[in-house]
Chain A
């Protein structure tokens, strides 16, 4: 198999997890001639907690409204136009035991615009205002803005309940990962929204600014020295400081759990299509050798149209409208999702069990093995053609402390054989079944 990715490119500055320390941030410069825009991400990593998760989930939309200098969305937009139609995105999510608050900015590269040479500096100075000088007066965000965004988030959380597929996923994780950090809802909790005020929201933000490990990534076609000095000059909100995440103990991985007995949860609702979602323990995560064979195995099991689950549950027995398998390599979990007729529960469960067994016994064709590997490799390669994919690849190495780039993964995927998959799959253990169905069907 041909490997086209330039190995050096993926490992720029990653050998040192620290990057270059500038103004309290670990700065990772990733120059690349692939792009005509520069993509910047500033990531704030803190330990996740049930107490602050709803406030952190609310933060991005409030911060996106504006800052002290550009108070409204319209003023922000005007400024973005002046910066050659730059885009800004603010997001928050869970990553294992950590919470990540992410500021992303995509700006045109001044190199390609005649008579323009201060764009990068202006863009960083705008970002500096958006991150470090939010619209905060007397230690509180604007109450009207907070109230409006609380309402928006409340509606989103309601809508998630109405979407039965995502509801079943959430419930499965609630049940399976009870007591684990994994079960904390990254999108927040409706019942926590009421008490949030402009002040309590800002307190949560101030804590993040004060304690987070901060990593800055930038990729694009730039001169590293010049970019470094631009960042040093324009992004000046933090000073070198003690951070919660400075030590290597801040691992993303949770302890792996064993299964005592299979937990089965059934809920009834007035729905047309029942959801059968099942969680398995893989007893494997990114720290282990077996993770890549497990990844290929999950692809063979239910990762694409030719997979065991798709071919047998859907095509051969016409039981499911959707069926797929998905593994979380940051954790010790693999999930199977299916939408079925409520009355077909037992038959579907039996066929799913048979597919797990087939995977463990190596009962799949070489064709399926090769297709699964080549799909994974193709995805990994394609992800390196976009800036976000490149940054994610490096950040994953920083978060996990495992310095394996996409190129290393591609090599490992290419080397996986049937025996390795059988060995990995033998560790799969059913943990929790969540079944959402209607009274009439059962």
Chain B
């Protein structure tokens, strides 16, 4: 599968990711924030082939995963300084039994969820305000345009100085990452609501409030969900980096520590877990997206 080309496409225009390749390496997501153009494309439902294509894709996915692990294993056995897959699994079990892994996962998940949920919760109303009221747009836009050109991580030194090394600064940085991705997408969704639909509602007797709730909100939902998915990826990427710098627990922290002791297996456990957790969360959002925006015409 053309993974690379899909990734490039993803980072240029995150809203058109395809179902099976939207979950690219999470690190790629950081670049995605700055890549959401104001005139970015509209979210589209992906074309789904018949059952045949779907099954074929699943088989190819499985082959690809197994093949990848096999290559890793072969490299590890042939002199490369990599732990073998069983060694990584063994390490994971060991860390789990020691209670360390759970603690790390909880710490990381807590941070990501707090930052991501707060970020999305703030982004959606702000995005709506910007799309609906010229005043709000005029006031918010310069700041959002300014901050979206700065990778949230670049603010970490400042945030650390101002807010110390507790939980707050990490959540603030993750919040920013999620907020910026989602706010632009929501705003884009509101301004691209089809005028005809608004007129149709109006001539049927709907007033502004009703039009907002019954037309603008549902019509923007696909954009919001795409923004949330990009925001989530961006939150993960930011999290790990934030933990690398300063944290008591967390997957990023654990990897940082392992680096000092040359503990490659632990680093692998961290990488794999971050990938899997990101994937699971993205799939949950994708599921919500399918449920909420299945009405879209496929083009």
Asked whether A and B interact, the reply is no
